[in-house]
């Protein structure tokens, strides 16, 4: 396991892990790309922001499943083309080529899974917040993959931009380290530490050179009276052409 700096593209509109470490199409929109949540913005503007982001990723939005988080531990495993594109769950795993999965995090961990299962590629995206972490959602996702025929040595885990322990305190005193807890869940299920990567970036405090925030953050918005927004975390079952 090792922490990584994200790679920023198109003038900082979105970021990704180095392709040699996570070869499937994936990315995280930044504040510069605009708010991606209908809850915190005018529909037309949000629709435009999303369309621009998916064009940058070169992935059709109509082939993207948007997770509607419930802060529980329900995970869908899709082996056929989906009929529902806005499922109420906290994780989706698929083996269907060309399908993408998206999530609009507030500060919670967007956890990407990928690898091989029964001689075919799979990807997954898990929403791991405080409640989901307590319910051991990453352990359950790995258990599901193994039940479907996967091998732990072929499972990879990437934790995208999220709130780090530097900024997440309960009652203003007790530090909460969701990243450490979710790494441990993967290790508990015998995923190799060499197969785990983590973004250095804390959604709450990470800033650009000009002092402006990189990602939207619910906690920062609440503490500093900022306007709320959400970014997109995305992964698609398509290898990126290098």
Q: Each residue of 81-99: pLDDT tens digit?
A: 988 899 999 999 999 999 9
Q: Which CATH class is domain 2-232?
A: alpha beta
- Give the pLDDT confidence of 25-68 residue by residue, as tens digits: 999 999 999 999 999 999 999 999 999 999 999 999 999 999 99
Residue ranges per domain, the chain? 2-232
**pTM of the model as a whole:** 0.96
Q: What is the mean pLDDT of residues 140-150?
A: 97
Pair 163, 203: CB distance under 8 Å: yes
User: Which stretches within the chain are classed as H helix?
Assistant: 43-57, 130-134, 137-147, 178-188, 218-224
Whether residue 1 has pLDDT greater than 90: no
Q: What pLDDT is stored for residue 2 in this prediction?
A: 84
Measured CA to CA, the distance from residue 242 to residue 226 in angstroms comes to: 38
What is the torsional sign of CA 168, 234, 90, 70?
positive
Q: What pLDDT is stored for residue 82 in this prediction?
A: 85
As given in the structure block, the two tokens for residue 131 are 């409640």
DSSP 8-state code for residue 34:
-
- Give the pLDDT confidence of 177-228 residue by residue, as tens digits: 999 999 999 999 999 999 999 999 999 999 999 999 999 999 999 999 999 9
Measured CA to CA, the distance from residue 48 to residue 149 in angstroms comes to: 40
Measured CA to CA, the distance from residue 223 to residue 80 in angstroms comes to: 43
């Amino acid at each position: 396991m090792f922490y990584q700096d994200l790679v920023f593209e198109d003038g900082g509109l979105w970021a990704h892990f180095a392709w040699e470490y996570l070869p499937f199409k994936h990315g995280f929109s930044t504040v510069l790309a605009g708010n991606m949540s209908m809850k915190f913005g005018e529909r037309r503007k949000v629709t435009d922001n999303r369309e621009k982001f998916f064009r940058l990723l070169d992935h059709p939005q109509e082939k993207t499943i948007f997770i509607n988080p419930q802060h529980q531990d329900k995970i869908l495993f899709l082996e056929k083309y989906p009929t529902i594109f806005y499922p109420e769950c906290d994780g989706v795993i698929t083996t269907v080529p060309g399908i993408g999965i998206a999530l609009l995090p507030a500060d919670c961990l967007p956890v990407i899974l990928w690898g091989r299962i029964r001689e075919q590629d799979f990807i997954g995206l898990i929403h791991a917040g405080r409640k989901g972490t307590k319910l051991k959602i990453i352990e359950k996702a790995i258990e599901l993959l193994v039940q479907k025929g996967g091998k732990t040595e072929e499972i990879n885990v990437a934790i995208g931009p999220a709130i780090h322990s530097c900024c997440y305190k309960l009652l203003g005193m007790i530090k909460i380290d969701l990243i450490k807890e979710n790494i441990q869940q993967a290790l508990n299920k015998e995923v190799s530490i060499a197969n785990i990567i983590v973004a250095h970036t804390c959604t709450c405090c990470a800033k650009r050179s000009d002092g402006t925030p990189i990602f939207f953050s619910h906690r920062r918005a609440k503490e500093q009276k900022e306007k709320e927004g959400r970014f997109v975390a995305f992964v698609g079952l398509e290898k990126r052409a290098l």
